[in-house]
Structure 1
Amino acid sequence: MKILVVVSEFPKITETFAYRNVVEYEHLGHDARIFHIKPFRDGEIVHDFMTGLVDRAFTYGYGSSKALGTLMMEAVTGPRRLGRLLTKIVREHRSEPKRGLAVLLFLPKALAVGRWCSREGVDHIHGEFAGHPATAAMIAAEVAGIPFSFSAHANDIVVSQALLVEKAQKAAFVRSISRYNISFLNELRGFPTDKLRLVRCGVTRSLLEKDGPPPSINGPLRILYVGSLIKKKGVNYLIDALAALPAELNWTARIIGGGDLADELSAQAYALGLEDRIQFEGPQPAEAVAKAFENTHVAVVPSIVGSQGRIEGIPVVVMEALAHGIPVIASALSGIPELVEDGVTGYLTQPEDSKAISEAIQKIAADWNGAATIAARGRDRVASEYVVEDNARKLAALMEETVK
């Protein structure tokens, strides 16, 4: 089966879950490629596992002859279809003109991709997010006359619902990564709930073969944060929580990731006198992150609701930490409690609650054996529901059903 996966940006260090699926499709014997709407991100870190994907990913320039030529051809050969598309885009984005303009800008690309799919014999198109990738997938699929589907993660269904119901109605199926998202989508008027399929994101099975956390805490309690340094990640609350830890507790923290708030967070740590205990390491490839987990006692994922209601889905970093058998402190937000069940598979705190994060860290430090037992149950849950090889196989099987 030939599969085209549509994403907004490529490569992007934070979207390993999408790229690992494509790698797994190829392991299953499918011919899978990536189309990215925006220009190639030069200078972005490319994880070792996805180096082969780079040569197989492609896009078209916004003003390229391929994109504009296809638009002109569509205007001649399919004027009614083009007219309907333009009308829908404008109508559905009346309250979101900036987003609507973005769709109009990539419309020629989506049309061109549709014709490319037709020429190349692509069997199925999958938009990896419910926003622009799903829109581009829908347009391309209509041009090519083939089925499409899309994934619903978190921000992509919360920030905007423009065209969302129509995309779902036309899709062969809609993959949701959490029951939380399914409940959210069920509330949307006209949404075809019978098309929803729960297929988790996941980590590679090899992570589950790694040694667990240290058997005891010798020396400082080693705390780890991995993720973007942006508002919805809530890293400032983690730093405040670290500042509130009792003076007698010996600890160090590593913050791996980059983003708009990097300088602000570093300044916060300095102002609180934590510059010698918190190490900001910037963005790192997946392989370096895996090694960081091997030398960690506790991972903290302090997610909050960001601007425009932006939220996490179920962060892959939670799965990675639990796969290593590391105790996880995470926010009770979105689909996170489906994996991190308080006192069972991890430690849950309310968003923006630095005090609760601090108390959870102290609880882990005071009862390491109990924390390790909880983390082991978390590891078992990852093994049963969040393995990328298993879940990519489920997604590929759903796609295969559309072309039988």
Structure 2
Amino acid sequence: MTVVAIASPDRQVYSQTFIHQQIANLPYTIRLLYGGNLPTHRAASPDCPGYAFPGENEDPWVRVQAIADYLVEQKVGAVLAQFGPCAVEMMAACESAALPLLVHFHGYDASRLEILSSYGKRYRALFAQAHSVIAVSREMHARLAAMGAPPARLHYVPYGVDTDVFARANPAANGPDFLMVGRQVEKKGHLLALLAFAGLVRSHPECTLRIIGTGPLRESGEMLARALGIAGQVRWLGVLSPNDVAAELRSSRALIQFSHTTPSGDSEGTPLAVLEAMSSGIPVIGSRHAGIPDVIEHEVHGLLVDPFDVAGLTDALRRLAVAPALAAGLGRAAAGAVRNFYTRQRYLDQLASLIDAAMATSSVHRPSKP
């Protein structure tokens, strides 16, 4: 079977479901490179132990050549790098091994100011070398095009979800119980969502909110819930398996995804939790941010509000809290949209098509010399 290397800064991050999907389901023998933007380790498969490359405390070019030698030794046909900075650091190793490089952007790597300050100029060299540049939202696609990604090699490939696992919800049969899923970081908007939920509870104290995930804002969220007097209506569930997330979705009225761009420029790609809720038949109350409006049409698949519009989010929550039939109708339309456009197999097929095209190319794109 054809061998493809997947390079990622981290090996196992619970929230990076999109990378786990690739490793487990792409139709190739996968070799893993991980441990920083310029990988420090390699593994033959997700279940195998990892081994360090030489050069971690030496000249980085020692490690670059060690990575290139490993790629050649393993007969790798292409490298798929996750996140822009990792792809930049993999450029030299791929050029040395004469291998095509594909870069998959996901969110912060195309927007955060410190990343663009450090890597912006190097992105232009990456775009010249990469066989494919992959964006997960239309906003990201436009942003990367403005940075210089060639139109012929820039591709909009939205995530997909397992429609067998995320299915069979009936929000009309559930109480006014809302759910949030994701890392508790600034761009996800957990703290602002708690403010909006407190406004809902003042008129509808029977409503509840469950929050899946963890992160640096977890304690701040718990303290804010206590200060707002809603600690009794909010449950913090921590990190759950995909099957357990699916079960929580099936017992919810709607998912809240109140994402926004932070002052540091951090923003979403397309939150996978949105597609998982839609696939389940659960409507999403989301913000008009990044890839969320790509997949949700307002009043068709869910409800959209502007980022930071806390009062607007409260109003949207109230609408679905008192109208289970509306939630059910939005959820049915959302599930249909996912099955037509955002399945896991469709996502993997699009990625595999780009990887196959890269391996079929006889030459490797190289940046032009100044």
Same fold (TM over 0.5): yes
Matches within 5 A, 1:117-266: 117-131=71-85, 133-159=86-112, 160=116, 161-188=120-147, 190-207=148-165, 210-217=167-174, 220-245=175-200, 246-266=202-222
**Structure 1 counterpart SS, 2:173:** coil
- Paired residue for 1:38? 36
> Residue 402 of structure 1: SS of its match in structure 2?
helix
8 Å contact from structure 2 (residues 160, 342) kept in 1: yes
8 A Cα contact 1:256 1:283, kept in partner = yes
| Letter aligned with residue 237 of structure 1 | L
Specify whether residues 285 and 244 from structure 1 end up closer, same or farther in structure 2 by C-alpha distance, changes over 3 A only. Answer: same
- What is the Cα deviation at residue 247 of structure 1? 2.8
Identity %: 24
Q: Name 2:367's counterpart in structure 1.
A: none
Which residue, 46, 62, 67 being the options, matches 1:54?
Answer: 46
Cross-structure match for 2:245: 289
The amino acid of 2:302's aligned partner reads G
User: How big is the shift at 1:386?
Assistant: 1.4
Q: Is the 8 A contact 1:37 1:109 kept in 2?
A: no
Partner of 2:337: 381
Query: How many angstroms apart in 1 are the aligned matches of 2:45 and 2:12?
Result: 9
Partner of 1:399: 355
- 2:165 partner SS: helix
Q: Deviations over 1:245-289 (max 9, x none)?
A: 143452111111111111111000011111111011222222221
TM-score by length of 2: 0.88
SS at match of 1:287: helix
Provide the C-alpha distance between the structure 2 equivalents of 1:56 and 1:143, rounded to a whole number of angstroms.
26
Cα distance in 2, alignment partners of residues 321 and 125 from structure 1: 31
Q: How many residues of Structure 1 are paired with residues of Structure 2 in the alignment?
A: 346
Query: Contact 2:176–2:322 at 8 Å: present in 1 too?
Result: no
Considering only aligned residues, what root-mean-square deviation do their CA atoms show, in Å? 2.1
Name the SS of the counterpart of 1:309 in structure 2.
coil
Mind listing any 5+ residue stretches in structure 1 that lack a counterpart? 40-51, 73-103
Per-residue CA shift, 1:115-141, capped at 9, x if unaligned?
A: 10011110000101112x212332221
Q: Distance in 1 between matches of 2:92 and 2:163?
A: 35
The one-letter code of the counterpart of 2:197 is L
Residues 254 and 283 in structure 2, CA contact (< 8 A), matched pair in contact too: yes
Q: Where does structure 2 lack aligned partners over 5 or more consecutive residues? A: 38-43, 361-370
Scaled by the length of structure 1, what TM-score is found?
0.81
Q: Which residue of 2 aligns with 1:87?
A: none
Alignment partners' CA distance in 1, 2:354 and 2:268: 25
